[in-house]
Amino acid sequence: MGRTVPSYRQALESEIDKWKGFRKALRAKDVEAFDKMVNACRNFASAGSMATRPVLLEAMLISILLHQEKEIMEISERIERLEKWLHQP
């Protein structure tokens, strides 16, 4: 019988599992950042599965970049609001 192809989520968790040694070698603050990146991949798993990329890491990296871009946009909006508030007469 043929082998079943794992779902994107299963493949993602398998890939994340392969990075456990790397994670273990990080300092505490770096572990927090690493976990945040991994969770970004999980949060965009539905989009990643629709990307149908032959290399799983591509979808993972785009997920991380998208998450970071969203955070940058949110920070920029906060700064803009604060600047407007500070410059009110």
pLDDT > 70: percent of the chain: 98
> Per-residue pLDDT tens for 52-63?
888 999 999 999
Kindly state the greatest CA–CA separation across the chain: 75
pTM, entire model: 0.85
Please give, one letter per residue, the 3-state secondary structure of 31-89.
HHHHHHHHHHHHHCHHHHHHHCCCCHHHHHHHHHHHHHHHHHHHHHHHHHHHHHHHCCC
